[in-house]
Amino acid sequence: MDFRLTDDQTALRESVRDFAREVIAPVIAEHYERHTFPYEVIRQMGKMGLFGLPFGEEHGGMGGDYFALCLALEELARVDSSVAITLEAAVSLGAMPIYRFGTPEQQATWLPKLLSGEALAGFGLTEPGTGSDAAGTQTRAVLDGDQWVINGSKAFITNSGTDITALVTVTAVTGTNPDGSKELSTIIVPTGTPGFTVAPGYSKVGWTASDTHELTFDDCRVPAANLLGERGRGFAQFLQILDEGRIAIAALAVGLAQGCVDESIKYAKERHAFGRPIGANQAIQFKIADMELKAHTARLAYYDAAARMLAGEPFKRQAAIAKLHASTIAVDNAREATQIHGGYGFMNEYPVARFWRDSKILEIGEGTSEVQRMIIARDLGL
């Protein structure tokens, strides 16, 4: 067992780290403050190949793997989580379902644009009335001749309303299974389809430079050929997508946690109180040591989950552990980093204020901490 990075992985991590520090850091505070989407940053990330990282070259990808995506997400989130979640959602929720389950035609139509970052896709699972309990899905799709007619709404959908959003994949009830449960399927809805409305962006506590909308479908018609994979496989599809996505969210959380360490070390050396740097006090040193410990152990947890996934082994429990642990320690580290910054930690001009506001959603999105515990307990046979 060896969790040291290869030369290629190290080079990727360093190039994304440099990009985050040199390109994202100088501009992101203003986007965050104004709640604007950083199109220019996203365009440059596309040119770097970040949106194609875990995809095969035959579809225009970079030929890397899911772990490469995680390394990039960690380095982005070390500086800013709005940009990191934009990439995470675009790749692991947006493009991945088409890559995994799409027909050759769907892949040829959508993947080149999505993998170059020229276009973004959203993943519409959550609804206003149901999130954790996806079996509660109310959105319906009825086959009428050679078209699906979709009615319903989706809540909190990332990347669904940018100027470059090309499509949303939507889970919908398409019938009843033999056991009486809902038959769920996934359908591709291109942006601009009549009957598909994107509400104005939410006013969010954090991730304010990312794009999140409620969507409504009112007799929205798309071709029958827009069904993603097999009819009735919607439930299995999103479980697989979310299992993988948890590793990516864990990586993002580790990045935020490490960013808190970076900023705290800097500030502890600069800030003086009682005639010496606050970092000369063991109380502050121990806080930072504990923050580093948490970031390091959470990183090992997501490396482990990713290694199992890439080896083709079961990884559901490990992905849930990584997501649960990393999101918990991200919130811990953001709280402690803010404390170390004193009153300045409460001022938006300091990155730790952004980290604090961005941390809480990590315990909620792509499966709450309670849901992660349910997954772990179920996998233990409970």
Ligand X SMILES: Cc1cc2nc3c(=O)[nH]c(=O)nc-3n(C[C@H](O)[C@H](O)[C@H](O)COP(=O)(O)OP(=O)(O)OC[C@H]3O[C@@H](n4cnc5c(N)ncnc54)[C@H](O)[C@@H]3O)c2cc1C
d(CA 96, CA 323): 19
Q: Binding residue for ligand X (CB under 6 A) from 69, 361, 362, 375?
A: 361
In the complex, minimum distance from the CB of residue 138 to ligand X, in angstroms, rounded to a whole number? 12
Q: Check binding of 201 to ligand X (CB under 6 A).
A: no
Q: Which residues fall within 8 angstroms of residue 372, CB to CB, at 6 or more apart? A: 246, 320, 321, 323, 324
| Residue nearest ligand X (C-beta atom) | 131
Question: If binding means CB under 6 A, how many residues of this protein chain bind ligand X?
Answer: 23
Q: Check binding of 240 to ligand X (CB under 6 A).
A: no
d(CA 84, CA 207): 9
In the complex, minimum distance from the CB of residue 51 to ligand X, in angstroms, rounded to a whole number? 16
Largest CA distance in the chain: 79
102/124 with CB nearer ligand X: 124
Q: Binding residue for ligand X (CB under 6 A) from 19, 66, 156, 235?
A: 156
In the complex, minimum distance from the CB of residue 294 to ligand X, in angstroms, rounded to a whole number? 22
Q: Which residues fall within 8 angstroms of residue 162, CB to CB, at 6 or more apart? A: 37, 39, 120, 211
Question: Phi and psi of 128, rounded to 5°?
Answer: -55, -35
Q: Check binding of 328 to ligand X (CB under 6 A).
A: no
**Binders in 71-90 for ligand X, by CB under 6 A:** 89
Bridge partner residues of 197 (DSSP): 216
Catalytic sites, residue numbers: 366
Rg (CA), the chain: 21
Q: How many CA atoms lie within 13 A of 88 on its CB side?
A: 34
238/303 with CB nearer ligand X: 238
Span of 103-111, 276-284, 313-321, 368-376 interacting with ligand X by CB under 6 A: 368-376
Query: CA nearest 193: which of 155, 163, 150?
Result: 150
64/124 with CB nearer ligand X: 124
Given the rule CB under 6 A, which residues bind ligand X?
A: 89, 93, 122-126, 131-132, 156-158, 204, 207, 212, 361, 364-368, 370-371
